[in-house]
Homo-oligomer: A and B are copies of this chain.
Amino acid sequence: MELLKSDSLKEAQIKLKNETEKLQLKTKLIKSEDACCFVCAQNIYANENVPPFRRSCVDGFAIRAQDSYGANESSPIFFDIVGQLNIDDYSNITLNSQQAVQIQTGSMIPFEANAVVMIEYCETYAKNKMAVYRPVSINENVIQEGEDIHINECLIQKGRRLTPSDIGMLASLGIEEIEVYQPLKIAVLSSGDELKGIHEKITGSYIRDINSYSLASRARQAGLIVKEIKKIRDDEKLIHDAVLEASADCDIVVISGGSSKGNKDYTKRILEEITHCILTHGIAIKPGKPTIISYDHLRETLIVGLPGHPLAAMMMFELIVLNWVNQKMNCLKKYPVFAQISENVSSNQGRETCLFVHLIQKDQGYEAVPIYSKSGSISVLSKADGYTLISRQSEGLKKGETVQVEVLS
């Protein structure tokens, strides 16, 4: 039996990062309105001031503030109304002392005006005559040119996964197209003589293929393009050919199953033959140890042998493959929740543990209840709300300790 030299998760991630440093992800221009959920591949700078001119925040009258000083309920100050500006009017009205222009929320403010009196504090008492019952200070109810967004301000940084609000922001600036990362193409292969398809009846020792379904779904959810899903018998030649073929066409190939020791373990040999560049063959993490990471420089393809066990395959797909994709796009923003662990948890020193938990929301935070399972378990897949990583240096968790939980959704 060959003892696999294991890397820590961090070591494996860094090796992969370094080995693929020169790889440039492709980008493409798309319409801003279609860009939600894509990752932005350029910094977006404001090409104009917002607002582009001074604007009123209220309905009322634009005046020169100093003309209103001293006004009160019992002695209003009187103004001549010299014009009216609708929201869509450009102002070229000249405003003199004791003159006012009626404007709406959002209207441009005439050049000589420096404040807006709210309509509630004004009274029109004759044609083009108006009384002000309360003074305004300079710039009151005025939004300055560029106050919201300054020209040349960086509004969206490269690496941001674009949100609906960002799309609104792009629209407001008249930015019709932006550069985003092209979604990577992936092939999801699973090997195993015991694997049957979803529509097949289970007999004997067969089980249904889970990994093709869960990994392909997760890949699509994460924004990848699933080019191929294939179930392959445990035959070295067949697996070799399938991996080679997929790697010509895809940026990522994952093959689950066959990567643990045992008499059907060809994966490592196949990846060695195809890529000549195995970075990691074994990660000191539970579950997920039998994970092989290789990179094909010729075809620029990441090829990863994932564990056959569904939970372990999902976790290593997340922590190695998707982590790599996000790191290449510099898109690493996540919002884990913090939770108090509900009981003592022992851990296996020397290797990291991925502990699945159920989250219970409390008034001021979360409680995380560990979900234990034997290695073959698949029900944890649906029962877990998230997972937390326990470091290989840790002796375990103490009841009440705060842990960081990545939510699975």
Contacts and interface: CB of A to CB of B under 8 A. Distances in A.
Contact of A171 (B51, B104, B208, B361): B208
A204 B208 CA distance: 65
Contacts of A238: none
A375 interface: yes
Contact of A199 (B176, B208, B214, B376): B176
B208 A174 contact: yes
A37 B221 contact: yes
Nearest to A407: B335
B209 A378 contact: no
Interface stretch (A157-165, A243-251, A268-276): A157-165
Given A168-B210, A210-B168, A148 B217 contact: no
A71 interface: no
Given A168-B214, A379-B155, A163 B408 contact: yes
Interface string A167-196: 111111111100000000000000011100
Contacts of A25: none
Interface stretch (A75-83, A85-93, A126-134, A388-396): A85-93
A346 to B, nearest CB: 19
Interface string A97-109: 0000000111110
A165 B376 contact: no
A36 B220 contact: yes
Contacts of A407: 335
B378 A88 contact: no
Given A359-B335, A382-B165, A172 B208 contact: yes
Contacts of A104: 262-263
A354 B192 CA distance: 53
Given A172-B378, A208-B174, A203 B90 contact: yes
Most chain B C-beta atoms within 10 Å of own C-beta, residue among A88, A107, A209, A261: A88
Interface string A32-58: 110011000000000010111101010
A194 B88 contact: yes
Contact of A164 (B176, B263, B314, B374): B314
17 contacts: A51-B207, A57-B374, A87-B193, A87-B194, A87-B205, A143-B376, A147-B374, A163-B382, A164-B218, A168-B213, A168-B310, A169-B210, A172-B378, A174-B208, A176-B198, A335-B409, A338-B364
